[in-house]
Amino acid sequence: MQSNRLEDVYISPSTLPWVPFSDGIRFRLLRVSPETGTWTVLFHCMPGSAFASHQHLGAGEYLMLKGKMEVRGGREAGGVTAFAGDYGYEPSGVVHEQTHFPEETEFYFTNFGPVAFLDDEGNTTSVLDWQVLASLAKG
Ligand code: ZN
């Protein structure tokens, strides 16, 4: 009998390829949801790498697995410095200037919608959503 019930998702991330994202940053795509636009990845960041300035167009949350992430310049600059074991939530609409990774870092990240990357004037230069990630992961 055909079942219309939703299926569990089970993935062993070590079986997934690392997909290049930007300079020094790569990801493993755990899941995308075409229904809601939610996407879930593991990010791996080399020491000295950074995410360009961006705005979350859907809320996001993360769990640090290893390393160190400095959001908005880190704690000394009034931002957030997250270490292994730390959890963070980022509401929809929030803008992040560069997010830095001074050490080799790995974290679980899920975003409930797209992320817009911004230039120095705050104009959108590109939009990252589940379709872009799925297409990058396909190669
Ligand atoms: Zn962000």
- Residue 1 has a pLDDT of 55
Task: Quick: pLDDT tens for 43-56.
Answer: 999 999 999 999 99
Lowest mean pLDDT among 1-15, 17-31, 105-119: 1-15
**Centroid of ligand 1 to alpha carbon of 131 (angstroms):** 19
User: What strands, in cross-sheet order, belong to the sheet with 99-101?
Assistant: 49-51, 99-101, 68-71, 80-83
Spatial separation of the C-alpha atoms in residues 85 and 64, rounded to whole Å:
5
97 pLDDT tier (thresholds 50, 70, 90): confident
**Centroid of ligand 1 to alpha carbon of 3 (angstroms):** 38
**Centroid of ligand 1 to alpha carbon of 54 (angstroms):** 6
**Centroid of ligand 1 to alpha carbon of 15 (angstroms):** 27
Task: Quick: pLDDT tens for 98-112.
Answer: 899 999 999 999 999
Instruction: Assess contact for 29 and 19: CB atoms under 8 A.
Output: yes
Task: Quick: pLDDT tens for 59-75.
Answer: 999 999 999 999 998 99
**Centroid of ligand 1 to alpha carbon of 95 (angstroms):** 7
**Centroid of ligand 1 to alpha carbon of 89 (angstroms):** 10
Q: For residue 25, is pLDDT > 80?
A: yes
**Centroid of ligand 1 to alpha carbon of 97 (angstroms):** 8
Tell me which residue of 14, 44, 19 sits closest to 29, measured CA to CA. Answer: 19
pTM: 0.93
Sketch out the chain's domains with CATH numbers: 18-138 (2.60.120.10)
